[in-house]
Chains A and B, each alone.
Chain A
């Protein structure tokens, strides 16, 4: 059974930083691209960032570029998202998603249950 378990979300002040993690199990982690997708309260889905199977290539949405870094540790089966210079509009549930492809994004076979990031003073 595929499992994706996100952690690291919390309440943070504007301008602050957070590191999200996604622990993966039930599949060969190093074979798949991975992405982070977020959803602001009551809003739709927004792709944030993706990384290919070996971490060689990362991609970012324009809305977070220069403030976010995606990375992965294939030895630990874990995906990360470093969020810096956080703004109120970054408030959202952040989902980790397994891509069908070795790159990302193509499409998402599995999703975690999400971790909530709230940016508020």
Chain B
């Protein structure tokens, strides 16, 4: 199987833009999905098919793809966005990125 690589942590101040990357060779041919997991809660889908957003997810969440790297962008970060974020493609999850809102 293959791996998806995420940075362990990202920190931003409220109102700034957070970018979380996910890298993997398979991402050139497979879609990537993003999940948010707050402490003590189950994961929740925030982006599907690289850049599509479920209707219930705020517009500040967006996704993009370039080559072997996909990026989750959170514009105007709010305190409630502090969570761990995981990328997923097929049966593989990335290791997760902890977003800290300073």
Q: Which residues of B contact A112 (CB under 8 A)?
A: 42
- Known A44-B96, A61-B91; judge A95-B42 contact (CB<8 A): yes
Partner of A59, one of B42, B88, B91, B95: B91
Tell me how many residues of A have a C-beta within 8 Å of chain B.
Answer: 20
Q: Which residues of B contact A (CB under 8 A)?
A: 1, 31, 33, 35, 37, 41-45, 48, 86, 88, 90-96
Q: List 24 A-B contacts (CB under 8 A).
A: A44-B86, A44-B93, A45-B37, A45-B43, A45-B88, A46-B93, A47-B88, A47-B91, A47-B92, A47-B93, A50-B91, A95-B42, A105-B90, A105-B91, A106-B90, A107-B31, A107-B33, A107-B45, A107-B48, A108-B33, A108-B35, A108-B45, A109-B45, A114-B42
Q: Which residues of chain B are within 8 angstroms of A108 by Cβ–Cβ distance? A: 33, 35, 43, 45, 88
A66 to B45: give the CA distance in the assembly, Å: 30
CA separation between A47 and B91, bound complex, in Å? Answer: 6
Closest approach, in angstroms, between the C-beta of A56 and any C-beta of chain B?
18
Which A23-66 residues have C-beta < 8 A from chain B? Answer: 37, 44-47, 50, 59, 61-62
Q: Which residues of A contact B44 (CB under 8 A)?
A: 111
